[in-house]
Amino acid sequence: MKLHLGCGKRYIPGFIHVDLANFKHIDYKRNVKNLSCFKNNSADLIYACQVLEYFDVDEINVVLKEWRRVLKKDGILRLSVPNFKIISLLYQNKKLKLDKLLGTIYGKWPLGKKSIYHKIIFDFDYLKKILIKNKFRKIKNWDWRQTEHSNVDDYSQAYYPHMDKAKGILFNLNVECKK
């Protein structure tokens, strides 16, 4: 079983889609921090692109504990989050002005009558520290080109300049680990 958490409008064939949004492909409409609809040790892969940053530093541990519960032994947690190190370099090197980075830094997702925003930022070392604290192992970067969802254009493929996947700078941090 493969779960696509916080999938929004993106559909990946062969995955079970979980999100609060209203799209036809959503299998379970719910907050991704509550996966009580899935049994312990039932998922081979959990993929969450631009999701984890919507939880604050305390919530992340609760969320990761729940996701870990659902993963099988040696199951893979694949994350993609904004990479603060690269974003700040793009700003410092005057490649992008602040107004072009605000969406990546703060996010904004309409949810009913309100909006939700990013609550935390990551670089590899900080995300690794959080994952280790939550008993994940074999933490490494992953290449979107080497995944079964490489044909789905999502933020794991976010480049500056936009869509320049050959020569651009990837500004999302793609990290996976094992239970």
Phi, psi of 127, deg, nearest 5: -65, -40
From the list 136, 126, 6, 120, the residue with the least C-alpha distance to 58 is: 120
Q: Which is more confidently placed, 170 or 99?
A: 170
Architecture of domain 2-82+119-156+174-178: 3-Layer(aba) Sandwich (3.40)
- In the predicted structure, residue 95 carries a pLDDT above the cut 90: no
Q: What is the mean pLDDT of residues 67-82?
A: 98
Mean pLDDT on 67-95: 95
Domain residue extents for the chain: 2-82+119-156+174-178
Say whether pLDDT at 105 is over 90.
Answer: no
pTM equals 0.95
- pLDDT for residue 157: 96
Residues 130 and 167: their CA atoms lie apart, in Å, by 31
